[in-house]
Every structure is written in C-alpha cells, then in structure tokens.
Amino acid sequence: MARNAFYGTDKDLLREVMNTVGKPGRLGESIRCVVSVSMLTEGWDVNTVTHILGVRAFGTQLLCEQVVGRALRRQNYDLNEDGLFDVEYADILGIPFDFTAKPVISKPTAPKPTTRVQAVKERERELEIVFPRVEGYRVEMPEERIEAEFTDDSKLIIDPTAIGPTKVLMEGIVGEGVELNANVLEDIRPSTIVYNLAKRLMERHFRDHGEPLPVNLFPSIRYVVRQWLDGGYLVMKGAPVGAVLYPSIAEDACQRIYLACQRTLRGEERKKAILDAYNPKGSTRFVNFTTSKDVYRTAPDKCHVNYVVCDSSWEAELARALERNPHVTAYVKNHGLQFEVPYRDGSTPRKYLPDFIARIHDGGEEPLHLILETKGFRGKDAQAKAETMSVLWVPGVNNLGTFGRWAFAEFTEVHTIEENLDALIDGYIQRGGQ
C-alpha cells in the first residue's frame, strides 16, 4: 500500500480505513466485512455485534468500556407507537465491569415478528425480471459545438442554509461592535460567474483523462452557461449571488449544466452504460431476506417475489395499482434486489435505489421495462436522481441493445397514483412501442 500524504504512514492509512468501515463518504465506505477480534479495541463502529465473550484479562475499566461499546450500536431506528426507540440488548460474558451503582435489570421484550421475503421458484419462468448492473456512463460529446436543453431540474436554488452565515456581529464587553460580512460576493459580476463556471465545466466535465483542455469548446460552453444564468435557472434566496462560486455549489451548478448538455445528444453511439465487469446483470431470482417491516402479499401472476416491503403507504398503493393494470405483465419492489443507479450529487458519487421495476406490454417487439419512483417532496437530491435516470441511465442502457427497452417515471401524488400510472401506460401503448 502506497504512502498517503494526508493520512501519514501506511499504518495510519490502514487504521483510518478500519475505523471508518461502512461509513458513507469515508475511506472504509466500500468495506462490508472485517474479521479481526483486535478491532474491538480500535474504535470499530458497526451495529451488527450481538454477543461479546471475554477470553483474556482486561487491565483497565476504560478497555472494558471500549469492548462493551462495540455491542451498543443501535440496529433499528424505527419509532414505536410512543414515538420512542425500542430497547435493544446484547449478551456480554466475561467482561469484568465494576459498577458503582446497582444495575437495573430490564425484562427483555420479544422481538418483532419477521417475514421471509423471497423469490418464488414456481413463478420464475413467467415473472423473472433481469436488469443491468450499471457502474458508470460513457458519453461522447461533440467536438465542435456544445448545446443545452434546460428543464425545471436544471434549476439551482441557493439559500443561507447552503452557505452558512454571511454576517457576523462582533462586540466586546465595552466599545463599539463591528459587523463582518461578505459584501464582496454581492459585487461579483455575471460575466465573472459565467467565465468561472465555464472554466470549471471545461476542466472537469469536457476533458478526457490525460488529454489537453478542449479550448476550442470554451466559447460554446461559455454561451451555454450564459443561457443557464440568464434563463433564471440560478435562484438566490437570501444568499449573495457570488456564493455560486463556492467549490461545492459550483460543482452542483456545473453538474446540472452538463446534464442539460447531454440531453441534446442523439444517436446510439453518444451514450453507453458501463456495466459491472464481474456481475453485469441482476435478477429477481436472487431476492431472499427477512424483514420486520410491513409487507404486502403480491399476486402470484404479477410478481416473482412473494411480498412487497412497504417503506411507505405510497409503495403499497403503487403495488396494488400495478397488479390491477392488465398491461403490466410483471413487477418487483427494489428491496433486497441490489438494483442501484450511480449518480453524482455535486462532486460526490452516490448510489440511487429506485422503488419499482415493472414490465409492460405496450405493443412493441420487446416488452418495456418501466422504472418507477414515488416521491412526495422533490428536493435537490431527487432532482439529481431523476436527471441521471432520464439523461444517462435510460438512454445508456437502451443503446446497449442487450437488456431490452427501458423508461423512467416519477409519481408525486399518492391519491392519483393509479390514474397517473394508467395514463402513463396508455401513452406508451398509443405510441405503439416507439
């Protein structure tokens, strides 16, 4: 392992990886399992330890607390009927704890009943759904001129919560107070914003790795940024306009503009999805897990999996609507399915798990696979997910030509889910599978 300038020695780097196992955005994010008893004393933060057995002497009470603390990570954060967390327990044997007070012994409560959610083998032949496991996208941009097609999802709203305080009043015990502010952000000219965003776009999004900057594209990139700014897609709510040049916010703006540029691309060779090299496709046949959440029993002629896990009432309603529509030949809830969509939230790579996959008979030569999402409040993160699905994932997978036809849709009103679903499917049928 190479030496890392930020974390110091190789030993420090390894310790940081082990200390951040499973934590999003940290070095240990991608690690799923660590087999090492010594990690119990190294600050290992996991929530799956249920038993601890001491087999050697512990010299201090602090060491005892560190070891016992490995079993005190809560697993379930669902609130009960009283709006509180249920009590969770761990069995600890052989740890010489010296309590200064008499321990209070609680009567353990029975665990919640669980349900086995699994694929039903008898339904596999007719109802199995196969999907691509996408890990990235390859986009070939034009070499001469860049154009953009902006939508409501291209809009970026900046408020004080995104940038922090811009005014600070400092006062001593005596004397006059002084106000520190960021007036310089108010004085930044639009042309400066356009130039800096265009420069960032060219360097980070339109430049191939190891290749020189495509300076010939800079005039058209700058023109597109000017269109985005003049078109009202940058909305300032109580924040200075220059805050858009903060690195994290500037990357968010560039990502929205870049997706708008990709929306104008046409042709099979422009966008391609990059599949997982070791596991390029997934299937409903591999679903098998237990859950204590509410479940909805699926119709045996519509779903390969025996239950839908209901994270909300919206999902149960959508499942019922899918089963009632005669043009839906199969569907599945994306829970335990490992169907993930890579996208970027500003400069941060993330994974998105859509709610449902439905297979529709719309009159085309191949069935249409419809990815469905139920969403009440559409925040900034939801916009980035929807943009990635519509602009990158769907055309990228369709252009592969090996997984059939795919489309994406969102539902934002729970009371009209069935009507909206029927209208959506009727629209595809009227187009005759085009």
State the Cα–Cα distance between residues 229 and 197, nearest whole angstrom: 10
β-pairing, 307-309 vs 115-118, is unpaired
Name which residue leads in pLDDT, 320 or 21.
Answer: 320
State the Cα–Cα distance between residues 357 and 332, nearest whole angstrom: 6
49 Ramachandran zone, left/alpha/beta (phi>0; psi -120 to 50) = beta
The pLDDT tens digits of the residues spanning 168-207 come to 777 767 767 666 666 777 788 989 999 999 999 988 888 7
> In this prediction, what percent of the chain has a pLDDT beyond 70?
81
Is residue 75 a contact partner of residue 48, using CB atoms and an 8 Å limit? Answer: yes
Name which residue leads in pLDDT, 84 or 414.
Answer: 84
Specify the CATH number of the domain 115-135+271-430: 3.40.1350
State the Cα–Cα distance between residues 315 and 319, nearest whole angstrom: 6
Kindly state the tokens that stand for 96: 């010489």
* Burial of 96 (C-beta count, 10 Å sphere; 0-12/13-18/19+): exposed
**pLDDT (average), residues 235-264:** 87
Closest by CA position to 193, among listed 145, 230, 238, 157:
230
Answering whether pTM is above 0.85, one says: no
The pLDDT tens digits of the residues spanning 25-65 come to 888 777 666 555 555 545 555 666 666 666 556 667 776 77
Kindly state the tokens that stand for 223: 């023109």
Query: φ and ψ at 238, to 5 degrees?
Result: 75, 15
DSSP characters over 139-184: E---SS-------GGG-EEE-HHHH--SEEEE--SSS--EEEE-HH
With 80 as the cut, is the pLDDT of residue 315 above it? yes
Q: Give the Cα-Cα-Cα angle 175, 181, 185 (nearest 5 degrees).
A: 165
Is residue 296 a contact partner of residue 78, using CB atoms and an 8 Å limit? Answer: no
Is residue 344 a contact partner of residue 255, using CB atoms and an 8 Å limit? Answer: yes
Structural domain spans, the chain: 10-93, 115-135+271-430, 141-263
Is residue 1 a contact partner of residue 13, using CB atoms and an 8 Å limit? Answer: yes
